[in-house]
Amino acid sequence: MCSGRVDPALILESFLAGADGVFVGACLKGECHYSVGNLMAEGKIEVTKRILRRFGIDPGRLVMRMMSSAQGAKFVEFASAFQDDVAALGPVGSSEGIDAADAKLRLAAARNALADKKLRWVEGKWVEFQEEGNLYGERFTLHELGRMYEEIALDECAIQEIRLRLEGRELSAKELARQVRIPAYRVLRHLADMRRMGLVSVAAVGDGEPVWSSCELEEIPAA
């Protein structure tokens, strides 16, 4: 198995299972046992860090280090340093100033975002968009791709978090905005989209303000 096999979703599974830090070891650049798997992994780790940051989780909890099998001392150095760093950060949530339950929910939303099609598609097309361009032959710079990813990630992460926040709870857009840490108008826009997708519905209208709840997926109307 190659570091290229490390699925971003699996990294989040590890955090959810109780890890406070995740260390990915890979071959040196140009010396990958599987040719270029380590470069693929590097992209995946970078993307995962971005998503962690988006959810307010310290991206320093995830590192990728490259070394060869002949560099035992280097591995010890990396592992010990990471151990110290993570020990200093403490359990997920503590250095971020959020409680354990909230951290868990955010990690679950991050996992869902990374496991779902949309972000995986963009991430998978990253190299192709840079080198060959899209369907119309437009090529993008790293900077443009980064911005594009950020924009898509912004929406995707918000949607995933809203879904989890509404699980078994009824919340107003205003309350969701506070919890998801984005402006209320953007929450409303997501809710409208999500309602079209059959993911949420208005549970009740009290005091002139609707409260929302999540839908069971079975309720999605057939296309």
Partner 1 sequence: MEELRIGVFICNCGTNIAGFLDATDVSDYSRGLPGVVFSRENLYSCSEAGVSDIKSAIVENKLNRVIVAACTPRTHEPTFRATCEDAGLNPFFFEFVNIREHVSWVHKKEREAATRKARDLVRMAVARAALLEPQTPIEASVIRRAVVIGGGISGLTAARELARKGIDVVLIERERKLGGLVSGLYVLGPVPRDARAYVASLVADVRKDRRIRIMTGATVERIGGYIGSYMVGVRSRGKASEIDCGAIVVATGAVPLKPEGVFGYDGKKVISLFEFQDRLRKGKLRGRRFVMITCAGARDRERIYCSRICCGSAIKDALLVKELDPGSSVHILYRDLMCYGVENEGILRAAKEAGIRFVSYSKDAPPVVEDGVVRVEGDVMGEELAIDADVVVLASPLVADEGASELSKMLKVPLDADRFFLEAHVKLRPIDFATDGIFVCGTARWPATTRECAEQALGAAARASIPLLAGRVEVEPAVAVLGDEDLCRGCGMCAALCPYGAIEIVETDSGEKASMIEVACKGCGTCAATCYMRAITMVHYTDDQLRSQVNVAFEEQATRAGGAVAEPGAAAPTGAGGSK
Footprint of partner 1 on this chain (CB under 8 A)? 1-2, 4-8, 10, 13-14, 16-19, 28, 30-37, 40, 44, 69-70, 76, 100-101, 104-105, 108-109, 111-112, 115-118, 120-121, 123-125, 127-128, 155-156, 159-160, 163-164, 167, 194, 197, 199, 217, 220
d(CA 1, CA 183): 43
Handedness of CA 76, 81, 87, 91 (dihedral sign): negative
Q: With respect to partner 1, which residue has the nearer C-beta, 173 or 199?
A: 199
Give me the least distance between CB of 207 and partner 1, in Å please.
Answer: 27
Q: With respect to partner 1, which residue has the nearer C-beta, 1 or 88?
A: 1
Contact 131, 139 (CB under 8 A): yes
Give me the least distance between CB of 197 and partner 1, in Å please.
Answer: 7
Q: With respect to partner 1, which residue has the nearer C-beta, 4 or 64?
A: 4
Q: Provide the 8-state DSSP code for 35.
A: B
Give me the least distance between CB of 177 and partner 1, in Å please.
Answer: 18
d(CA 15, CA 9): 10
Q: With respect to partner 1, which residue has the nearer C-beta, 19 or 64?
A: 19
Strand 62-66 relative to strand 22-26, pairing? parallel
Give me the least distance between CB of 72 and partner 1, in Å please.
Answer: 9
CA distances from 108 to 4, 102, 150, 160 (A): 22, 10, 19, 9
